[in-house]
Amino acid sequence: MLILDTGYQADMETIGVTWGFRGRKELEDAGANFVVDEPFEIGEIVLMIGVSACLIGENCTYSGKNNLVLGLKRLYELGEVVCVCPEVMGGLSTPRNPAEIQSVEPLLITTNQQVDVTKEYLEGAKKAMSIFLAHDVKVAIFKIRSPSCGCDGIYDGTFSHKLIDGQGVFAKMCEEHGIKVFMRNK
C-alpha cells in the first residue's frame, strides 16, 4: 500500500483510517503503525490536528450552515484540534455566494455571479497556514470538495455539481508544507 510504504521508507510512523477504502485488517497487514476507526482517535496519537471549522460545528459554510462531525467537536473541546475557515479568514462573508475554481494555472476562483474571489481565497489560505504552522500541525481533516479545503476532487467551475480531479487552495498549500490531509464527508 503506497502511503504505508512511503512512511516505512521515510522511517515515519503511519496511521491507517478505516473510513477510507481499506478495512482494518488490510491496513494492519500492510504494516500501519496505528489504525483508527474515528477521527478523534488520531488525537490520541498525534499532538495537534488541523480541522475545517465547519466540521466542528462553526456556521461558516457559504450557506451559513455547518458540517458538524461530533467526534471532531469532542476533540476540539479537549483542546486537541485547531480549526480554521480559510474563506472567512480571507474576508468573505457568511453566508456568501458559492465559488468554484475556474483555473489552476493561473489560479482563478469566481463566485456563481462571476465575481473574482481569488485574492480572498489566497489570503485566507495564507492566514490559516500561519495558524497551522504556529501549532505544529502535521495532520489535518478537511471537508471534502471545498474549493479551499477539498482534496480528492473539486467542482469543475460550472456550478453544475460536476466533479473533476483537483485540490482546494488551502489543501494544496497544506500538502506543500508536508501536512497529511484526510477528507471527511457529511
Pairing of strands 49-52, 139-143: parallel
Task: Figure out which of the listed residues 22, 143, 172, 184 binds ligand SF4, where binding follows CB under 6 A.
Answer: 143
118 part of the interface to ligand SF4, by CB under 6 A: no
What order do you get walking across the sheet with 139-143 strand by strand? 81-84, 49-52, 139-143, 180-184
Burial of 160 from C-beta contacts in 10 A (0-12 / 13-18 / 19+)? exposed
> Closer to ligand SF4 at the Cβ: 54 or 154?
54
Contact range with ligand SF4 by CB under 6 A, out of 30-38, 39-47, 103-111, 146-154: 146-154
Looking at the Cβ atoms of 16 and 124, the one nearer to ligand SF4 is 124
Site membership for ligand SF4, residue 85 (CB under 6 A): yes
Span near ligand SF4 by CB under 6 A; candidates 69-77, 82-90, 97-105, 108-116:
82-90
CA distance 20 to 2: 14
- What is the per-residue binding string for ligand SF4 in 86-115, x denoting contact by CB under 6 A? xx----------------------------
Torsion angle of C-alpha atoms 33, 39, 123, 171, degrees rounded to 10: 50
| Beta bridge partner(s), residue 69 | none
State the minimum distance, in angstroms, from the CB of residue 41 to ligand SF4.
22
